């Protein structure tokens, strides 16, 4: 996940340099955001492997956000970006599948949820 943050940094570095005239600030912010996101995902992954209910709930929230973000991205796509639209639909389908799976009763019991 740290590599994902660094890859994002490399790709977006030139874009950020256009908007911010100070060369080091976007790099530092990109590294900080990448490390923060990576540590969040690492913590959720460890909790998920330990079958912790808080990790399941956090993943439900993040995948719900992914679906909403995908909807807003689809609304903003122009007609000439068919590949981008297809990838967004695939990602949204994965999020919806994951949401339906995490909300099933046997999964709730496995993670020790108190209410069904």
Query: Over the stretch 98-108, which tens digit does the pLDDT of each residue have?
Result: 999 999 999 99
The mean per-residue pLDDT over the stretch 75-100 comes to 83
Answer positive or negative: Cα dihedral of 56, 59, 64, 65.
Answer: positive
Indicate the angle between helix axes 53-76 and 82-102, nearest 10 degrees.
150
Chain segment 56-65, per-residue pLDDT in tens: 999 999 999 9
**Token output for 102:** 């995490």
pLDDT band at 54 (very low <50, low <70, confident <90, very high): very high
pLDDT band at 1 (very low <50, low <70, confident <90, very high): very low
**pLDDT top residue among 81 and 95:** 95
Position 75 scores a pLDDT of 83
Is the confidence at residue 2, as pLDDT, over 50? Answer: no
Q: How far apart are CA 2 and CA 31, in angstroms?
A: 9
Note the pTM of the prediction, 2 decimals: 0.69
Q: Where are the alpha helices (H) located in the chain, listed in sequence order?
A: 2-19, 24-49, 53-76, 82-102, 105-110
Q: Where are the domains of the chain?
A: 1-50, 51-116
In the chain, count H helices and then E strands.
5, 0
The mean per-residue pLDDT over the stretch 31-37 comes to 82
Do the beta carbons of residue 30 and residue 5 sit within 8 Å? Answer: yes
Position 38 scores a pLDDT of 84
**pLDDT top residue among 20 and 98:** 98
Rounded (10°) CA dihedral 7, 11, 13, 17 = -170
Q: How far apart are CA 44 and CA 62, in angstroms?
A: 11
- Backbone phi, then psi, for 89, in 5-degree steps? -65, -40
């Amino acid at each position: 996940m740290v590599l994902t943050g660094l890859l994002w940094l490399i790709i977006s570095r030139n874009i950020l340099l256009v908007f911010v005239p100070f060369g080091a600030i976007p790099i530092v912010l990109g590294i900080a955001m990448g490390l923060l996101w990576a540590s969040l995902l690492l913590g959720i992954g460890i909790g998920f492997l330990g079958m912790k209910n808080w990790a399941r709930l956090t993943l439900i929230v993040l995948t719900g956000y992914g679906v909403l973000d995908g909807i807003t991205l689809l609304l903003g796509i122009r007609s000439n970006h068919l590949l981008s639209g297809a990838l967004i639909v695939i990602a949204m389908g994965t999020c919806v599948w994951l949401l339906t799976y995490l909300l099933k009763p046997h999964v709730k019991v496995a993670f020790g949820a108190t209410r069904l």
